[in-house]
Amino acid sequence: MAEHEPKEPFGYQKPALDDKELATKLERVDELVSLMLDDELDEPKVTELESLLLDSQQARCQYVGMIQLHTDLVEFYNPQSTAAATSPVLAQLNQPTDTTPPATQTPSDKG
């Protein structure tokens, strides 16, 4: 009997790029996303990042993962969300509430 190559797990897709090329692209995505999150990404680098993201599913996954990690860390270390800080309605959600019912006004009789 001939030896069989190991089967890939269900749903596995081999990357279109060789491992070294893919690793290089993912490292560059990592660098560019880090610059973006630090507000240091200039226009040529924005174009480069967009090109990498359009070119590779793995790069898009890397990007989404990094943005999600950044968001999770911001929310973890700053439990008061930024939405609450900018929205008067949402900001009131963390304020202690007054349980006294509001005073009711009755229309005055003018005759």
Predicted model pTM: 0.56
Q: Note whether residue 55 is domain-resident.
A: yes
| Residue 51 identity | S
- HSE at residue 84, side-chain half, CA atoms within 13 A, is 10
Q: Output Rg (C-alpha) for the chain, integer angstroms.
A: 27
Q: Quote the domain boundaries for residue 31.
A: 19-84
- For the stretch 91-110, pLDDT in tens is 666 666 666 666 666 666 55
CA dihedral 7, 9, 13, 17 (to 10 degrees): -70
Q: Note whether residue 93 is domain-resident.
A: no
Tally the domains of the chain.
Answer: 1
- 89 φ, ψ to 5°? -70, -50
Consecutive 10-residue runs of the chain (111 residues): their mean pLDDT? 55 63 92 94 95 94 93 86 58 61 61 54
Q: Note whether residue 1 is domain-resident.
A: no
Q: Note whether residue 25 is domain-resident.
A: yes
Contact status, residue 29 vs residue 62, Cβ threshold 8 Å: yes
Measured CA to CA in angstroms, residue 106 lies from 25, 50, 103, 109 at distances of 71, 63, 10, 9
- 54 φ, ψ to 5°? -70, -30
